[in-house]
């Protein structure tokens, strides 16, 4: 039995406050933790702040057990900053920057210098292997994949990825933190895309191909998944929720990693990403969100 006292985490560094990072900040605030939230610009932080406040306000409507917090209470639990060095006193750091190795790599190189050696880094990536991150830090045993589901505060389970070097102590720390968020961990091994996205990106990509071929409309494709298969969401709604740009980047990581044509991104997805039709976060994807304020 472990003699080591289990740490109750109070302050978490969250790097990258886009679609999934802002959801994570909401969840941490709803569970009483303080976040140091880092993004690249004041504009990105201002947008994240509004998204966080809106999601926190709506949270109790979707989840009866979610805390009802005032705007001031939420904001008092978050420090917004563009300086990565501000995470230096955080007890655990979770990175959620763009799904692009060229974006993530410099963040870890800096974080490794800034954060005390005892601090664990959670890698929130859709597809990038955790070993790749571990290899560029001096703390490979403290690097662990934390693939959160979207929207974070409504999803009770996290896909946790144990890299080849990830220690049991790190897994214990992750489980402690997820326990504070009332979440369960499903721990899997490290291969690009892990379980969830290695499978889900195949069906999102194929659903987009079916749409591209004119076999069915987006609502019809999603209806087959929901009404025939019993899924809560269809593949094209899911792509819109994740962000089409992130789906395309993830497919590119899978294709590069496995060199398997089954992961080749279909033309319509790439065209949508190139046109800025990212889904919910931009107001237009397979569906139009511009009049719904969502």
List contacts with ligand NAD (CB under 6 A).
Answer: 15-21, 38-40, 44, 96-99, 103, 107, 124-126, 147-148, 150, 242-243, 246, 250
Is there a contact between 161 and 189 (Cβ–Cβ < 8 Å)? yes
As measured in angstroms, the least distance from the Cβ of 207 to ligand NAD is 16
> Least distance to ligand NAD from the beta carbon of 196, Å?
9
Q: Which is nearer to ligand NAD, 169 or 252 (CB)?
A: 252
Concatenate the DSSP letters of all residues of 41-98 into one string: -HHHHHHHHHHHHHHHHHHHHH-TTS----HHHHHHTEEEES-GGGGTT-SEEEE---
135 vs 140: CA distance, rounded Å: 6
Edge-to-edge strand ranges of the sheet holding 78-81: 78-81, 34-38, 11-15, 92-95, 120-123, 143-147, 157-162, 184-189
Q: Are 178 and 184 in contact (CB under 8 A)?
A: yes
With b for 16 or more beta-carbon neighbours within 10 A and e for fewer, the 56-78 pattern comes to beebeeeeeebeebeeeebbebb
Nearer to ligand NAD, 213 or 256 (CB): 256
Nearer to ligand NAD by Cβ, of 124 and 166: the residue is 124
Q: Is 15 helix (H, G, I), strand (E, B) or coil?
A: strand
- Residue 169, token pair as written in the block: 């102590």
Report the nearest approach of ligand NAD to the CB of residue 162 (Å).
17
Which residue in the shown chain puts its C-beta closest to ligand NAD? 18
List 123's β-bridge partners, or say none.
95, 145
> Which residue, 40 or 268, has its beta carbon nearer to ligand NAD?
40
Shortest Cβ 66–ligand NAD spacing (Å): 19
Q: How far is the CB of 280 from ligand NAD (least distance, A)?
A: 10
Q: CA–CA separation, 248 vs 197, rounded Å?
A: 12
Q: How far is the CB of 105 from ligand NAD (least distance, A)?
A: 10
Question: Between 96 and 166, whose beta carbon lies closer to ligand NAD?
Answer: 96
Looking at beta carbons only, is 129 or 242 nearer to ligand NAD? 242
């Amino acid at each position: 039995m472990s003699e080591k006292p289990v740490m109750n985490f109070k302050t978490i560094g969250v790097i990258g406050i886009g679609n999934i990072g802002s959801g994570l900040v909401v969840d941490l605030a709803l569970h009483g933790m303080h976040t140091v939230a880092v993004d690249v610009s004041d504009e990105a932080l201002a947008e994240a702040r509004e998204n966080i406040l809106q999601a926190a306000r709506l949270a109790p409507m979707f989840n009866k057990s979610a805390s009802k917090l005032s705007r001031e209470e939420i904001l008092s639990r978050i420090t917004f900053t563009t300086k990565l060095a501000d995470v230096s006193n955080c007890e655990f750091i979770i990175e959620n920057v763009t799904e692009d190795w060229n974006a993530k790599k410099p963040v870890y190189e800096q974080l490794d210098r800034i954060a005390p050696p005892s601090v664990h880094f959670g890698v929130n990536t859709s597809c990038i292997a955790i070993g790749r991150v571990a290899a560029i830090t001096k703390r490979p045993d403290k690097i662990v994949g934390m693939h959160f589901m979207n929207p974070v505060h409504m999803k009770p389970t996290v896909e946790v990825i144990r890299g080849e070097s990830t220690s049991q102590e790190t897994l214990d720390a992750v489980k402690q933190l997820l326990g504070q968020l009332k979440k369960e961990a499903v721990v899997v091994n490290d291969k690009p895309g892990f379980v969830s996205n290695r499978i889900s990106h195949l069906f999102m990509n194929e659903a987009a191909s079916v749409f591209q071929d004119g076999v069915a409309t987006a609502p019809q494709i999603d209806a087959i998944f929901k009404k025939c298969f019993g899924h809560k969401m269809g593949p094209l709604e899911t792509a819109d929720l994740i962000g089409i740009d992130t789906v395309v980047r993830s497919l590119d990581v899978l294709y590069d990693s496995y060199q398997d044509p089954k992961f080749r991104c279909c033309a319509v997805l790439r065209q949508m990403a190139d046109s800025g039709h990212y889904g919910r976060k931009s107001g237009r994807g397979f569906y139009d969100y511009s009049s719904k304020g969502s």
